[in-house]
Amino acid sequence: IIILGIETSCDETSAAVLEDGVTLRSNIIASQVAIHQKFGGVVPEVASRKHLENVHPVLMEALDQAGVTLQDIDGIAVTYGPGLVGALLVGVAAAKAMAYALDIPLIGVNHLEGHIAANFLARPDLEFPLLCLVVSGGHSDLVYMPHRGTYQLLGRTRDDAAGEAFDKVARAMGLGYPGGPLIDRLAQSGNPQAVKLPRAFLEEGSLDFSFSGLKSAVLNYLNRAAMLKEEVNMADLAASFQQATVEVLVEKTILAAGQTGVKTIMLAGGVAANGGLRHLLQTRAAEIGCQVVFPPLRLCTDNAAMIACAGYYKYLRGDFAPLTLNAVPALPLGEEKY
């Protein structure tokens, strides 16, 4: 089974060709980071226009590199939410046109379902039930999966997403955009105990997250130092911020693992690339007898391979979308809005 995946929910235009859910024949990613960098974040209007320019060449390159023609494709999987509406529409329109012209199934994929499925590319053998911590630019979700394709949201962020906090803190520190990888790198040479920062565990037993207090504490720390003309050790601050973020993410994930009794914990989303998070989660999970899996670095951030993988399992279930499929900017995980 050959699935063509298309992803345009944010600022990456991506297309991938995936065979039988595991053999990645191509995964082309045109990133707009260089364009949005000067604004310190993604500008939705600019993103849509760039997707429009990129979608055709990216699709052609994905087919070319995979050594397949359109006639070899069995189904087209596309992200239809959540994301920026104008950005999503470009991928959805392209996918619908191709599915119609080729008379093959159209598969609507939730972007977060895609992030989670990035784990199944290398590990199709993982046994359910599974727990996944989805940490990205827009989400910090703890998701329980009793079976394949079933998603129960156990916890979510009440304010900023983890990746958003990384990006905002990095911007305040003058590091650049996107901030996550920059903080991750800088943190390696800093002392995580150097700056005292708050950890928001919320009510006893809560699996929700909150990162805005932590973000504000970092901003206050920087402002105070600027006012007093004190020099800030940026590596120490990066390490301390990362440690505070990661500790809360990991402790809540361990709590959820205990509550659900899973034996495997997955990481997904851009922040799953974080070295500190991977390391601490592995250490804590080992203590309770759980294994931790995460996608390779380049499959953590947005890409179409993960969309094709989620699409492959939907294809096997016969879970197809009608050609009236529309972009759904606030699509909830586990609810189809065809």
State yes or no: residue 270 binds ligand ATP (CB under 6 A). Answer: yes
DSSP helix, strand, coil percent of the chain (3-state; round to 5): 45, 20, 35
Burial of 255 (0-12, 13-18, 19+ CB in 10 A): middle
In this structure, are residues 92 and 325 in contact, taking their beta carbons and an 8 Å threshold? yes
The binding track of 294-313 with respect to Fe ion, each residue x by CB under 5 A or -, is: --------x-----------
Instruction: Count the residues of the shown chain that bind ligand ATP, applying the rule CB under 6 A.
Output: 24
State yes or no: residue 111 binds ligand ATP (CB under 6 A). Answer: yes
Summary count for the chain: helices (H), strands (E): 10, 10
Q: How far is the CB of 302 from Mg ion (least distance, A)?
A: 5
Q: How far is the CB of 188 from ligand ATP (least distance, A)?
A: 11
Helix spans in 106-204 (H): 111-122, 162-172, 179-187
Query: Would you state the structure tokens that stand for residue 91, as one six-digit string?
Result: 């991928």
State yes or no: residue 83 binds ligand ATP (CB under 6 A). Answer: yes
Strand partners, 130: 145
Query: Would you state the structure tokens that stand for residue 107, as one six-digit string?
Result: 């598969």
The binding track of 152-181 with respect to ligand ATP, each residue x by CB under 6 A or -, is: -----------x--xx----------xxxx
State yes or no: residue 136 binds Fe ion (CB under 5 A). Answer: yes
Query: 19 or 159: whose CB is closer to ligand ATP?
Result: 159
- List the single partner that 167 binds among Fe ion, ligand ATP, Mg ion, none, CB under 5 to 8 Å by kind: ligand ATP
Spell out the residues 6+ positions from residue 213 whose beta carbon is closer than 8 angstroms to its own: 198, 200
- Binding site for substrate: which residues? 134-138, 167, 180, 184, 274
- Binding site for Fe cation: which residues? 111, 115, 302
Q: How far is the CB of 249 from ligand ATP (least distance, A)?
A: 11
> How many Cβ atoms sit within 10 Å of the Cβ of residue 146?
12
Q: What distance in Å separates the CA atoms of residue 238 and residue 188, rounded to the nearest whole number? A: 9
- Binding site: which residues? 111, 115, 134-138, 167, 180, 184, 274, 302
What residue ranges bind ligand ATP (CB under 6 A)? 9-10, 83, 111, 115, 136-139, 163, 166-167, 178-181, 184, 269-271, 273-274, 301-302
